[in-house]
């Protein structure tokens, strides 16, 4: 999803390449030899349009994939959709290693398909994790660990080490294959989903496997036949309803409409800001590999703050603080960019990295709320809608970043406005922890 950050070389390097094509053989600046460079679309007058188009294809694919795979996950199960998406992403990387023999249209179609399965992966990956835990504190820890932070640092390191599209996609094809094999061997279907779909024996079987693997409870053999899956795991009893829920339920039910709308906008605004700064890495002062690595490290560190701060603050208060500080930082960047103050370029780097990483606590809260506020029967669909809002934001982000060709300060001005609106929405509409049902992971 972040590969387009390295599609276009720096303007200075483009000037060097225009003088002699042999510059790529020496490559003293360690520029990334991307697919767009390979096909002659880089360092052109319309290069920004090419990069924006490739980014948009990935994001449009992810937008559609969030909806489709969220629906399939609620119908077919979490694990098969999760593994299917992961496998298809791996196949996409393998296919891109043969880009020399593919048309430019086929390459772009592959990017769109990879975006589709990335969107599906992000929906099912999170749901299958959160449904495996009972305590909100445990789920918050999982959310803090699960995110883009590590992958950003790995992406930057892989790009800086390989400096070539072929080796880059080969590495991630191998990584994807390894993760798929490990997930196939170790990942279990969600007991909550199995139970909600009437597969009580399967849920009990998996619950017993998990308990025996962890060696955390002594269960008598005679008790296995009479215990339910949640009793084997030590979870509270879920409640069920026979009412069939569909996509329309999220928008027709007054119970679901408000949280769906609030979370969808929060996902969209956070996504626009996050991806806006991801896609701006190539124009930030300094080394883009270092900038992305530092951004990933900062996101990882700040992503843990909800886990620690939740002892003293509500999730809503953490989200307000995160969005408020990012909004303030975006406003501080504006005068520096508008008046083009060269001596303060380092401030732009610092504040940009701070915003990209500082929005991460809000992302964690968004993800947690999008799972906790909805019952099992519509959880993946709700996650799909929320992720679709996030993916819609990621689709809009490249277009907003492209506006820098008309004025370098314009994207940041838009980000500041979006952050302010998000702050207002969170303050007014986002529920506090105490406003949620005590058993928020139930299927009621």
pLDDT tens-digit readout, 205-245: 777 776 666 665 556 555 566 666 666 666 666 655 555 55
| All residues at 6 or more sequence positions from 88 whose CB lies less than 8 Å from its CB, including other chains | 113, 114, 117
Cβ density class 368-406: b for 16+ within 10 Å, e for less: bbbbbbbbbbbbbbbbbbbbbbbbbbbbbbbebbbebee
Matching CATH number, 3-187+244-430, of 1.20.1250.20, 2.60.98.20, 3.40.190.10, 3.40.605.10:
1.20.1250.20
The answer to whether residue 116 scores a pLDDT higher than 50 is yes
pLDDT above 50: residue 444: no
Lowest mean pLDDT among 36-50, 119-133, 287-301: 119-133
Tell me the C-alpha distance between 38 and 9, whole Å. 12
93 pLDDT exceeds 90? yes
Q: Report the C-alpha gap between 52 and 270 in whole angstroms.
A: 19
pLDDT at 113 over 90: yes
Q: Is the model more confident about 427 or about 380?
A: 427
Position 222 scores a pLDDT of 54
**CA 221 to CA 198: how far, in whole Å?**
23
- State the DSSP code for 164: B
Residues 6+ apart with CB under 8 A from 43: 8, 9, 13, 14, 17, 18, 37
Query: Among the ranges 32-46, 104-118, 143-157, 306-320, which has the highest mean pLDDT value?
Result: 104-118
Whether the CB-CB separation of 208 and 224 falls below 8 Å is answered with yes
Which of 36, 52, 58 has its CA nearest to residue 402? 52
- Fill in the DSSP letter of residue 133: -
Query: When comparing pLDDT for 249 and 108, which is higher?
Result: 108
Number of H helices, E strands in the chain: 22, 0
Give the pLDDT confidence of 325-353 residue by residue, as tens digits. Answer: 999 999 999 998 888 888 888 888 899 98
Is the separation of the CB atoms in 415 and 330 below 8 Å?
A: yes
- Beta carbons of 52 and 401 less than 8 angstroms apart: yes
User: For position 365, what pLDDT does the model report?
Assistant: 84
State yes or no: pLDDT of 421 exceeds 90: yes
The more confident residue out of 429 and 95 is 95
Give pLDDT, residue 212.
Answer: 65
Q: Which residue has the tokens 């390449």?
A: 17
**Closest-CA residue to 124 (of 78, 87, 63):** 78
Which residues make beta-bridge pairs with 164? Answer: 33
State residue 117's pLDDT score: 95
Question: What's the rounded Cα separation, in Å, for the pair 37 and 358?
Answer: 33
pLDDT at res. 438: 37
Closest CA to 292 of 159, 156, 394: 156
What are the sequence ranges of the domains in the chain? 3-187+244-430, 193-233
Place 439 in a pLDDT band, splitting at 50, 70 and 90: very low
pLDDT grade, residue 413 (50/70/90)?
very high
CB 369 within 8 A of CB 310: no
Tens-place pLDDT, residues 148-204: 778 888 999 999 999 999 999 999 999 999 999 998 888 888 777 777 777 777 777
Give the pLDDT of residue 440: 45
Between 5 and 134, whose confidence is greater? 5
Which three-class secondary structure state does DSSP give residue 293? helix
For residue 109, the SS3 value is helix
> Has residue 136 got a pLDDT over 70?
no
pLDDT of residue 171: 96
**pTM for the whole thing?**
0.78
CA dihedral 250, 256, 258, 264 (to 10 degrees): -50
What average pLDDT is seen over the chain? 82
Task: Answer whether 44's CB lies under 8 Å from 316's CB.
Answer: no
pLDDT at 418 over 90: yes
Is the torsion defined by CA of 331, 337, 342, 347 positive or negative?
Answer: positive
Give every CB contact of residue 409 below 8 A, 6+ residues apart in sequence: 333, 334, 337, 338
Measured between alpha carbons, how far is 216 from 202 in angstroms, rounded to an integer? 21
- Mean pLDDT, to the nearest integer, of 407-418? 91
Of 382 and 85, the structure prediction assigns the larger pLDDT to 85
């Amino acid at each position: 999803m972040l590969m387009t950050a390295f599609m276009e070389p720096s303007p200075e390097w483009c000037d060097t390449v225009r003088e002699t094509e042999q510059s790529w053989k020496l490559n003293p600046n360690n520029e990334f030899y991307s697919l767009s460079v390979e096909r002659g679309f880089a360092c052109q007058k319309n290069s920004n349009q090419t990069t924006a188009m490739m980014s948009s294809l990935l994001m449009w694919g992810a937008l559609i994939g969030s909806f489709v795979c969220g629906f399939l996950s609620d119908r077919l199960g979490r694990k098969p959709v999760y593994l299917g998406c992961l496998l298809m992403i791996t196949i996409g990387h393998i296919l891109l290693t043969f880009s020399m023999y593919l048309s430019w249209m086929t390459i772009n179609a592959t990017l769109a398909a990879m975006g589709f399965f990335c969107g599906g992966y992000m929906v099912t990956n999170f749901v299958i994790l959160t449904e495996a835990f009972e305590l909100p504190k445990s789920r918050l820890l999982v959310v803090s660990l699960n995110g883009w932070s590590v992958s950003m640092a790995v992406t930057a390191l892989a790009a800086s080490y390989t400096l070539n599209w072929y080796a880059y996609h080969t590495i991630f094809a191998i990584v994807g294959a390894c993760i798929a094999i490990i997930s196939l061997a170790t990942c279990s279907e969600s007991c909550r989903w199995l139970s909600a779909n009437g597969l009580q024996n399967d849920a009990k079987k998996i619950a017993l496997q998990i308990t025996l693997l962890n060696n955390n409870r002594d269960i008598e053999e005679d008790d296995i036949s009479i215990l339910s899956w949640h009793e084997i795991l030590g979870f509270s009893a879920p409640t069920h309803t026979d009412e069939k829920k569909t996509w329309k339920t999220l928008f027709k039910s007054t119970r679901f409409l408000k949280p769906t709308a609030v979370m969808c906008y929060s996902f969209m605004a956070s996504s626009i800001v996050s991806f806006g700064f991801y896609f701006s890495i190539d124009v930030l002062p300094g080394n883009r590999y270092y900038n992305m690595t530092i951004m990933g490290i900062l996101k990882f560190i700040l992503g843990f703050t909800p886990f620690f701060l939740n002892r003293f603050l509500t999730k809503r208060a953490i989200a307000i603080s995160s969005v408020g500080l990012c909004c303030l930082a975006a406003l501080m960047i504006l005068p520096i960019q508008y008046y083009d103050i060269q001596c303060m370029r380092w401030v732009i780097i610092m504040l940009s990295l701070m915003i990209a990483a500082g929005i991460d606590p809000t992302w964690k809260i968004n993800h947690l709320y999008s799972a906790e506020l909805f019952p099992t029967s519509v959880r993946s669909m709700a996650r799909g809608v929320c992720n679709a809002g996030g993916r819609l934001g990621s689709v809009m982000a490249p277009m907003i970043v492209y506006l820098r060709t008309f004025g370098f300060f314009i994207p940041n001005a838009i980000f500041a406005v979006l952050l302010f609106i998000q702050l207002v929405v969170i303050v007014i509409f986002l529920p506090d922890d105490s406003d949620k049902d005590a058993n928020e992971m139930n299927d009621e």
